[in-house]
Structure 1
């Protein structure tokens, strides 16, 4: 009877070992990527100010921050009261010249009739013809001046330079503006992430590298599209292209993981690490059976859809790690 009990106990001790052996994982040093987490800022590719082309008072303002606009859309209107007076003066001058022109044409017609009857000389007729031409040229010049003034008045409309989102409106209705002042800033042409990376990592950056991004708690991938050659304040600027980047808040900062270097690391499935009494253990299979070994785990990374944990100390490679079965 005692022999039977001992046999059962021995078999019971073998069951976990058999289960462990079936779920073994050979530890092999693997090349992994070192990542540097930095903040990227959402920026518009094009940020163009819509400027006042005419100095005057802003009498209309039809947009505010966040509005979507189309290229050429009227955003506001600037009015210069002096232009109306200039147009009135030009209209009066044109009317006077038109009267002079009509009178000069009548005098020229009368002179031609008198010339046919031999009453006036050819010199007098040429003088009348010259006078009519001078008045006609003066009338054309005033009409051209009126067109210039009307064009200035039409330039009071502030137009959107590109299609996109209004990012900033630094003025209010009723503001007095000079020619060239910004009424609104429009961002368009797509959006990207602008990175500012410490210069010690500049040599590790490569255009075309895949970038991991965390936007609003959701992971995404982008491409390192451009690295700027000029270093300012000890930092290198780079642009990351991201498909479907959320542009609701331009200037928002998001976490970006940059690949900096490759190194050798020991990785095992995260499920094979057990924590007991504040210590981490893995079960290693050897010629004499299975033993528990204390390890120091590192960060967990998802590789090919499986969570893998880096073992910083306790494993060197070549071990057979098995899963623990209760």
Structure 2
């Protein structure tokens, strides 16, 4: 179990509420945050066209357009769609399901645990061993809620749909965080090969966002897919106007044809950049653990906290893994970036290693 919830300082790398954006200070080359650049022009154009209408509350037509676009993209009924102010909004709703016992597949994103602990939900950490495959998951039979990421943050592991299906039990709800699914490719180039967004299982919740792929982290826009019976429980007590008009506009644009083409192009670019990045990291002796499938890689780095601190002095921000259950001071998560930036990072890592070796020498 992870201790210290609610009391750790946000500067503490072990604080579950600390995310990569706290590390990506202005002026640093950002390998800490997994956002892919800035919003594409077609999304900015759509948002800009609606700015003159901000005096009006978000309307049902705005919501309906976004819901219809999401439903059409995933082959779902509009009644299966719940709009979110970012994926974290969906995690905060989970206690409304009257959960008796939650199982969290770890290591993984910290926000679900924060929300469940705040609501007093009993939790079992199902910590997988490297290479973090679900075949090793020992989920208690009493768990009526199981949460996992696919692909998983920070391991970058993509689980087969069949492995997730094997977790199903009567009376249990499966929650899959697909924040990075739209940037995954199959061996044959298929987009989102393991996504469950189109699956109409009555016991499944899929949570997604558009913030990473479309450069919209500051806007907070996402959605949740589930059976209407589950959505009714999640909606209970929700505030009105949960999403702003710009967020609704962005969702409609991102889930349209232009958005699909953008995702496909970005997924191919991520795959190419990631392959070059793995080669470059391996060249300097770093171990990229597991087989990465997301827009980030997990690397083994002895004394990772010290390496991270020193890299700031060289102009680079990287993500510590000290607050992920099952990891610690021997891993860093690195966002996939173009190879020119990666080469600059590896040069800095080699300099940092030399500094640390010099610091350990004892003159006699």
TM-score (norm 2): 0.19
Larger CA Rg, structure 1 vs 2 = 1
TM-score (norm 1): 0.20
Greater per-residue helix proportion: 2
The higher-RCO structure (CA 8 Å, 6+ apart) is 1
Greater per-residue strand proportion: 1
